[in-house]
Amino acid sequence: MKTSELYNLLGINLDLAVEAHELLRGEAGREIPGVKMDEENYDHSTVKIITILDEQGEQIMGRAKGTYVTLESPELRVNNKMVHKNISEVFAEKLKQILPLNDDSVILVVGLGNWNATPDSLGPKVVNFSMATRHLFQYAPQELQQGLRSVCVLAPGVLGITGIETAEIIKGTVDRVKPDLLICVDALAAGSVERINSTIQVATTGINPGSGIGNKRLGINEETMGIPVIAIGVPTVVHAGIITHQAMEQLFNHLQTTPALQHVYAGLQPVAVNEIINKVLEPFGGQLMVTPKEVDDQISFTAKVIATSLALALHPGMPPDQVEHYLQ
C-alpha cells in the first residue's frame, strides 16, 4: 500500500507542502507537473521553496496555487541564541521577499491556537513576544523612529474557549482595523518526527486552522478576509499513526534483508497495516497526536525566532543587533 493511500485511510493531512511534495514525487518517481522546487543552504538552516504554478499542480498537491517557503533547522530545538539570531535573519529575508508591503502598510498579526494547550500555543506566544506599534502612530508619535510600520496583534483563542469561529473574530477585526495584510501564525502537524519543532513554513495562500489534526475550521485566506493572507506555521505534533506506520516499515525492511527472518516476513501481510494501526488507535478514535516532552521550551524558542523575524521583516528601520530590545 502506498503511503499516500494509508494517510487517506487514516484521515491524515500533511500540513507541510515540502512533505507532500517529497511523498508524491517519491511515489511517482518523477517531478510533479505544475510544481517547482528550489533549495538554498545557509550556515544553520536549509530553505526549500515550493511553488505551485497551475491548476494541475493544485490538484496533485491538494493545496492552493502559491508559494510555500520552508526553513529547516534541527538547531531550532536547542537553546542557542546566536544560532537562533542567524536563523531569524535568514527567515526575515525570506519574508521580505514575499510580503506585499509598502512603507505605510498596516499589518495585523494573528496568533492562532489555544494558549492552554502547549503544542497549540505557538501562535499566542508569538503574539506575546511581538511588538505592537499601531497605537503609537495615534497616541505617541514622538516615540516612533523612522522605518517602523503600523502593526497590531491579536490572539483570538479557539472555538472551544470563545464559542466563536476564529475566522469570524479575525474578520470582524479586519473590517474594523482595515489592515493591508494579515499574517497568521499557527501550530501544524508533521509527517515525520524529525520535523517537529525544527521546521517553519510560510505560505502565501492562507490557512485552514486545525486541518492537520482532523479538525478543519473555516479557512482564513484572501477570499474570506478580503486582504492578502500570509500563513506561518511550525509542526509541533505528529499523528501516532504515522509513527506506527514508519516503525512497521522499518520492521518489514529488516525482515526482508535478514535471511534468518525472511520466512517470518513471508507470512506477514503488509496490506493489513491500516487495520493494525486502526486497532491500536481505536481508544482515541484514530486521532492520537504525539509531541516531545520538551515541547514547552521548544515552542518558546521557535516563537522568539518567528517574532524576531517578523520584527525585522515588518520594520525596515529595525537594527538587527537591537531587535531583542523591542520584543516583549
Q: Per residue in 129-142, pLDDT tens? A: 998 989 888 776 66
Q: Which residue has the higher pLDDT, 146 or 264?
A: 146
**Identity of residue 289:** M
DSSP 295-308: HHHHHHHHHHHHHH
Q: How many CA atoms lie within 13 A of 55 on its CB side?
A: 0
Average pLDDT over residues 244-263: 74
Domains of the chain in start order, with CATH, are 3-243+283-326 (3.40.50.1450)
- List strand residue ranges (DSSP E) for the chain, in order: 35-41, 46-52, 66-72, 106-111, 150-154, 181-190, 199-203, 229-239, 289-290
Dump pLDDT digits (tens) for 184-233. Answer: 999 999 988 899 999 999 999 998 765 544 555 678 999 999 999 999 99
- List strand residue ranges (DSSP E) for 130-285, in order: 150-154, 181-190, 199-203, 229-239
Cβ neighbours, 10 Å, residue 296: 12
Q: Is the pLDDT of residue 108 over 50?
A: yes
190 and 15 Cβ atoms separated by less than 8 Å: yes
The pTM of the full predicted model, rounded to 2 decimals, is 0.88
Query: By C-alpha distance, which of 233, 212, 235, 209 is closest to 221?
Result: 209
185 and 232 Cβ atoms separated by less than 8 Å: yes
Q: Is 109 helix (H, G, I), strand (E, B) or coil?
A: strand
* Secondary structure of 40-91 as H, E, C letters: EECCCCEEEEEEECCHHHHHHHCCCCEEEEEEECHHHHCCCHHHHHHHHHHH
Q: Is the pLDDT of residue 281 over 80?
A: no
